[in-house]
Structure 1
Amino acid sequence: MRNLHFRRAARTSVLGTAALIAALSLTACQSDSPAPAAYDAEAPAPQKPASGASAAPASDTGNGKETAGDTGTSGSGSEGAKDSGSESAKGSGSAAAKQQRSSASLPTCTGENTKLTITGVKRPVNHMLLTVTNTGSKACNAFYHPVLRFGEAQSVPPVVEDSKPQAVVTVAPGESAYAGVMTSSADGSGTGGYSTQDLSVGFLDAESKSAGDMVNVPLSKDVYVDSTLTVTYWQTEMDDALMY
């Protein structure tokens, strides 16, 4: 009986030892396995390559270029931008050309479609403002500068070249353009001065030739002019005409 109990105890001990060894082996295996990665809900799912397709990334074909799909998109955008730019430039050029042709087809401002007036100003000293107003039904071009003749002058005064505008001044019906007139020097350095109440004004065409007849412009009082008499180009703004 004692031998039977001893054999059972020995068997139990062997089984327990075996179970313990198995448990330790399992624990060791689990400790060597990598820990599961944290779950990222925003991470994109891995794409499975289509059958027969290369497993290389879609953005790299191995030759430094984009994939056919990306190239098609990019090419479409480039073509669209190119076409759009071409159409825009073409349209802009056409509009500019049309406007230029329209401006060139306008009549020249003359005494027949305008009214001229001249007034004295306080500043600058010894200056007057010549105003031309379009009295016609169509816009007209005021080319270059007015041609002035005070009294019995044998020559017309020079123009101030610095006052030349960037484009021809176009005067719409009812609107005005301006020219500044310096009648004499402020420091008395001018020569050959005289006083007069007579003023005639002429216009120039696109070729800088006389356009129409000279127009008599009344003066309210005597005006003193000397050798420093000058006139500006036609201006669209009054202040620009009195800058010189």
Structure 2
Amino acid sequence: MSARTVRTRLLAASTVALAALALTACDNGKGVRDEGPSAASQSSAQPGGSTTAKPAADSGASTGGSAATPTKGSTKGSANGSSGKTGGGKATGGGTGTSGTGGTRNAACNGANTRTTATEVSRPLNHLLLTVTNTGSKNCDLTGYPIARFGEAQSVPPVAEQTHPQAVVTLAPGESGYAGVLLSAGDGSGGNGYTAKTLVVGFAKGATSTPALPAKGVYVDDKLTVTYWQQSLDDALSY
């Protein structure tokens, strides 16, 4: 083999080697050849170029759902807390008594637990004394004034406001309370007079009473007036 032939072959080999080196140098600038998308990337691609992204917030959503859903214990606690119940329970408004009394109150005196009598008196003139006696076994309160209906009258007499007692009249068993009745004007100035032979006495609460009047009846006119119930007989006849 001639020297020329050897040089030609060496030159060709050198050219091939340089070409290989040039191809190796054509990379991404980092010494790695870009061979296109990886197989893993291709396998995750969906038809049409879209990709299926697995929700990254799976664990976070589950955690959020758990936080929004109360546990059995917390549900019971919140239900008790929102029920409005307090340590006091029921509001009694002052025990068993009525509002504003600050405690218990006696039953009302009326026709069911008392006896009522009507007595014509000589002094003062033209007066009738009503006496209410507690026939029960407990104290009772005699409040207000007698709602007195004489005969067939369509109305009841007014009360003399100046006779209002300073305290409620309370009757122990066997005790009595009183009210005075001005039947007619002493000077004859009253009008529309008539003789009444029956009387019905009403109370602030409860049953009425029907005390007997004198057999001849009592004369009444438009001056007819009653007092409030009083603790003493003298107070009842002072009007």
TM-score w.r.t. the length of structure 2 is 0.56
Q: Distance in 1 between matches of 2:221 and 2:210?
A: 20
Q: Distance in 1 between matches of 2:184 and 2:134?
A: 29
Instruction: Find the structure with the greater CA-based Rg.
Output: 2
Q: Distance in 2 between matches of 1:214 and 1:108?
A: 12
Q: Distance in 1 between matches of 2:171 and 2:120?
A: 22
Query: Could you say which residue in structure 2 is the equivalent of 1:215?
Result: 209
Q: 1:163: how far off?
A: 0.4
Q: Distance in 1 between matches of 2:152 and 2:208?
A: 14
Unmatched 5+ residue regions in structure 2? 1-100
Q: 1:101: how far off?
A: 4.6
Q: Distance in 2 between matches of 1:155 and 1:240?
A: 25
Q: In the alignment, is residue 187 of structure 1 matched against residue 181 of structure 2?
A: no
Which of 234, 237, 240 is residue 232 of structure 2 equivalent to?
Answer: 237
Q: Distance in 2 between matches of 1:180 and 1:220?
A: 16
Q: Point out the structure with the larger helix share.
A: 1
Q: Distance in 2 between matches of 1:219 and 1:192?
A: 20
CA RMSD across the alignment: 1.1
Output the amino acid matched with 1:241. A
Contact persistence 2:115–2:209 (CA under 8 A)? no
Q: Distance in 1 between matches of 2:178 and 2:161?
A: 15
Output the amino acid matched with 2:174. G
Q: Distance in 2 between matches of 1:109 and 1:216?
A: 15
Q: 1:116: how far off?
A: 0.1
What's the CA shift string for 1:65-101, capped at 9, x where partnerless? Answer: xxxxxxxxxxxxxxxxxxxxxxxxxxxxxxxxxxx65
Unmatched 5+ residue regions in structure 1? 1-99, 205-210
Q: Distance in 2 between matches of 1:190 and 1:180?
A: 18
Q: Structure 1 stretches (4+) deviating beyond 6 angstroms?
A: none
**1:174–1:101 distance in 2 versus 1, CA, 3 Å:** farther
Q: Distance in 2 between matches of 1:172 and 1:141?
A: 9
Query: Could you say which residue in structure 1 is the equivalent of 2:12?
Result: none
Q: Distance in 2 between matches of 1:118 and 1:215?
A: 11
Contact persistence 2:108–2:206 (CA under 8 A)? no
Output the amino acid matched with 1:130. L
TM-score w.r.t. the length of structure 1 is 0.55
Q: Distance in 1 between matches of 2:161 and 2:196?
A: 26
Q: Distance in 2 between matches of 1:216 and 1:105?
A: 26
Identity %: 57
Output the amino acid matched with 1:156. V
